[in-house]
């Protein structure tokens, strides 16, 4: 089991819940917000664009996507990281199926098209049907991990489960991590234990899924530390995200990192310091210098060229890789007008361009 420390709860197990009785069955809802109505509490959906109240025979959950701003790779070995939960994510709607012994699953993309569907035996979790075998097997692994923690969930009636992404899958914002978080919320299980038994990784993305704003994440052996970060730079209007369109498999990057034969402690120490310094940087110049130092450390230790050197060597600002190097999104900084900055990247064929505040979830408790 994982231990936790810090200011943010690592799983919904210890978060607020509302219990209501329906057909002698206790239903638990993950609550991020509350509304008091006639001396009772009702659930509000946590996703920004939908505030429908959950009905008594169904449950709705939401999990946020993520960006890892610092300590990529080395976060696996105890480096303190700075991570950003996003305004993009995934929701899960679950309904009980009376007189059924199956889990009927459908996954919808951001255009509301079904990209994955499968059926599982509720008791054995055997795959009955699936349009993508590999995806079905990964989902089965999650169910099996949940079953170890909550076996009674799979002894009652069946379920209809539908997941909805609000971002394109190739963007790499956390299709798998948000799914794992959603199922952990539903089952009230330890998300980090599920992660350990399925996908692997540090777990920063699991922390981001339920975080209210930027966080500092650290994994020290079996101990998970998650704390709210004060990262809300005054120069955030000079920060942007650009999609490179080169989808990366984070597991491949982790495997490459694990093969490194070097003393990582000195790098872990400095990257942890940079994570703190980034959070408190007062000017864009200071932030840019931290980006350069951070990118140089990762580039030299992993023998991977910087994204700026590969694609944007003539760019006047700085470029920071986010998570696995080589694809997905990068953070860019620019002192120039947004029209000029957007034009630069568009001319190079990179058309997915977001302002910082259009993507990152702001912690409303920090001014």
Give the per-residue SS3 of 113-124. Answer: CEEEEEEEECCC
Over 249-295, what HEC string results?
CHHHHHHHHHCCCCCCHHHHHHHHHHHHHHHHCCCHHHHHHHHHHHH
Q: What stretches in the chain show pLDDT beneath 70?
A: 1-57, 247-251, 326-327, 364-367
Q: What is the pLDDT of residue 45?
A: 36
Closest CA to 329 of 66, 40, 104: 66
Residues 6 or more apart in contact with residue 148 via CB below 8 angstroms? 197
Domains located in the chain, CATH noted: 3-227 (3.30.230.10), 230-359 (3.30.70.890)
Six token digits for residue 82: 């700075």
Q: What is the pLDDT of residues 322-338, one digit of tens each?
A: 987 766 899 999 999 99
Compute the distance between CA of residue 161 and CA of residue 107 in angstroms, rounded to an integer.
Answer: 8
Distance of alpha carbon 75 from alpha carbon 224, whole angstroms: 11
* Dihedral of alpha carbons 255, 248, 357, 48, sign: negative
CA 103 vs CA 97, 156, 178: distances in Å: 9, 11, 19
- Element spanning 226, H or E: strand 223-228
The span from the CA of 109 to the CA of 20, in Å, is: 31
Q: What is the mean pLDDT of the chain?
A: 85
């Amino acid at each position: 089991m994982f231990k936790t420390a810090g200011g943010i709860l690592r799983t919904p197990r210890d978060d607020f819940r509302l219990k209501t009785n329906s057909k002698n069955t206790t239903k638990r809802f993950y609550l991020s917000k509350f509304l008091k109505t006639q001396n009772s509490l009702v659930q509000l959906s946590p996703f920004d664009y939908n505030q429908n109240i959950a009905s008594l025979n169904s449950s709705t959950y939401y999990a946020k996507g993520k960006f890892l701003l610092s300590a990529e790779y080395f976060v696996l070995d105890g480096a303190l990281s700075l991570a950003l939960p996003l305004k993009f994510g995934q929701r899960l709607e679950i309904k009980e199926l009376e007189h059924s012994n199956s889990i009927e699953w459908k996954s919808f993309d951001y255009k509301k098209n079904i990209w994955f569907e499968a059926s599982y035996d509720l008791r054995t979790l055997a795959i009955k049907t699936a349009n993508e075998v590999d995806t079905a097997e990964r989902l089965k692994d999650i169910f099996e991990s949940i079953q170890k923690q909550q076996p009674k969930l799979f002894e009652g009636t069946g379920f209809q489960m539908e997941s909805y992404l609000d971002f394109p899958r190739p963007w790499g914002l956390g299709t798998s991590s948000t799914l794992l978080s959603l199922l952990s919320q539903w089952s009230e299980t330890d998300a980090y234990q599920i992660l350990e038994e399925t996908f692997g990784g540090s777990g920063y993305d699991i922390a981001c899924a339920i975080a209210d704003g930027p966080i500092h994440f650290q994994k020290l052996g079996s101990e998970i530390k998650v704390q709210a970060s004060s990262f809300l730079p005054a120069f955030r209007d000079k920060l942007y995200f650009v999609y490179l369109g080169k989808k990366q498999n984070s597991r491949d990057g982790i495997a490459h990192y694990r093969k490194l034969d070097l003393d990582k402690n000195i790098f872990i120490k400095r990257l942890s310091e940079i994570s703190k310094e980034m959070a408190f940087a007062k000017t864009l110049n200071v932030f840019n210098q931290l980006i350069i130092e951070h990118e140089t450390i990762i580039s030299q230790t992993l023998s991977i060229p910087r994204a700026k050197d590969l694609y944007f060597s003539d760019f006047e600002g700085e470029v920071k890789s986010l998570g696995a190097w080589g694809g997905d999104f990068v953070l860019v900084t620019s002192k120039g007008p947004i029209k000029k900055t957007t034009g630069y990247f568009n001319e190079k064929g990179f058309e997915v361009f977001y302002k910082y505040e259009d993507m990152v979830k702001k912690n409303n408790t920090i001014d």
